[in-house]
Amino acid sequence: MRIVLIGQAPFGAKTLEALLDMGEDVVGVYTPLGKSGAKPDPLKEAALAKGIMNIEPKSFKDEQVFREYAELRPDLTVLAFVTDIVPASYFSAACYGAICYHPSILPRHRGASAINWALIMGDQKTGLTIFWPDDGIDTGPILLQKEIEIGAQDTAGSLYFNHLFTMGVEAITESVKLIREGKAPRIPQDDSLATYEPPCDDRVAGVDWESSGRQIYDLIRGCDPQPGAYSEFNGEQVRFYGPDFVPGVAEKSGSQPGTITGLGSKGLTIAAAGGELIIKKVRTFAAGKIDAAVWAETAGVAPGMKFGKVSN
């Protein structure tokens, strides 16, 4: 099939490689508009290395951009890690339409930060969906889904890089094969089960020490590695990474949530409602990302000190 690939980053590059390996004719690749002086997008580099035309549109809403896309006469458009808004006209212009990768079990966690919110909301499982996009946000019919269990130590980073990245590329190629064979389903999403969350950024990443320890732990996992859940210490923003949660022990000491209860080789221990958080790494503006114990030593941190309320 003649395929147009819209995407970016290593995920887009691996998808291109996989499509070519299965003998598909990728006639054009669209990547985000590059910034002056920035490193080229990996998908762009991969396309040019294979002699495939790469397009970096300022906007997919531009009529000239759409005309040039239509002139490629795609049989199928594949969306692999797309953050730009692509009008539905692009999907209907291809003979077989378009398919899109989304890292959640749709209709749960529609939106740009699906992996983060699966962790933040305490889900026990997550996965990916290949769906037929329409004019809504992650609302089109489902072609294929795969599920995985969320481990106790998983973070957004580990879920993506250890599972959903490779699974996603494989699911795209499996979906293309089903389309080529005329076996690809279109299963309507049940909108009554849908959730839609905002982007996971600093507006949601601040730690509320009045929440339960388990909720804070899930927030830190969901924001690791980006944007990094954070609190404040002596007027400085401190972001937390590599968390663990030990239920019950903080209640024995009577420490208030947010109080530092220990420093050691395992990291920084902080009291929370229902247990203790153990933080392995932190990031500050001054120190960058470092071991929590190293930061504590340089910042003069001692047990009994307390993280403050996040100011918005």
Number of domains in the chain: 2
- CA-angle at 241, arms to 106 and 244, nearest 5°: 85
Which of residues 142, 162, 193 is at a domain's end? 193
Q: Which domain holds residue 185?
A: 2-193
Task: Report the candidate in 288, 286, 279 with the shortest Cα–Cα distance to residue 258.
Answer: 279
Residues 208 and 182 in one domain: no
The CATH code of the domain that includes 104 is: 3.40.50.170
Cα–Cα distances in angstroms (integers) from residue 64 to residues 54, 57, 71, 166, 271, in the given order: 16, 10, 11, 35, 58
Looking at the fold, whether 55 and 149 belong to one and the same domain comes out as: yes
Do 211 and 188 belong together in one domain?
Answer: no
Outline where DSSP puts E strands in the chain.
2-7, 25-30, 54-55, 76-80, 98-102, 125-131, 142-149, 229-233, 236-247, 260-264, 267-272, 275-284, 288-291
Shared domain check, 216 and 266: yes
Domain end residue (candidates: 149, 169, 193): 193
**Do 189 and 209 sit in the same domain of this protein?**
no
The Cα–Cα gap between 220 and 226 comes to 10
Is the full-model pTM beyond 0.85? Answer: yes
Question: Are residues 66 and 166 located together in one domain of the fold?
Answer: yes
At residue 167, what is the residue type? M
Residue 178 lies in a domain: yes
How far apart CA 130 and CA 6 sit, in angstroms, is 14
Quick check: is 226 in a domain? yes
CATH number for 254: 3.10.25.10
Whether cis (ω within 30° of 0) applies to the bond prior to 227 is: yes
CA-based nearest residue to 104, from 150, 135, 154, 136:
150
Per-residue pLDDT of the chain in tens (312 residues, 90 and over written 9): 999 999 999 999 999 999 999 999 999 999 999 887 889 999 999 999 999 999 999 999 999 999 999 999 999 999 999 999 999 999 999 999 999 999 999 999 999 999 999 999 999 999 999 999 999 999 999 999 999 999 999 999 999 999 999 999 999 999 999 999 999 999 999 999 999 999 999 999 999 999 999 999 999 999 999 999 999 999 999 999 999 999 986 555 678 999 999 998 889 999 999 999 999 999 999 999 999 999 999 999 999 999 987 765
Cα diameter, the chain: 70
Whether residues 95 and 12 fall in one domain:
yes
- Domain shared by 165 and 207, yes or no: no
The pLDDT value recorded for residue 250 is 53
- 284 alpha carbon, distance to own chain's centre: 22
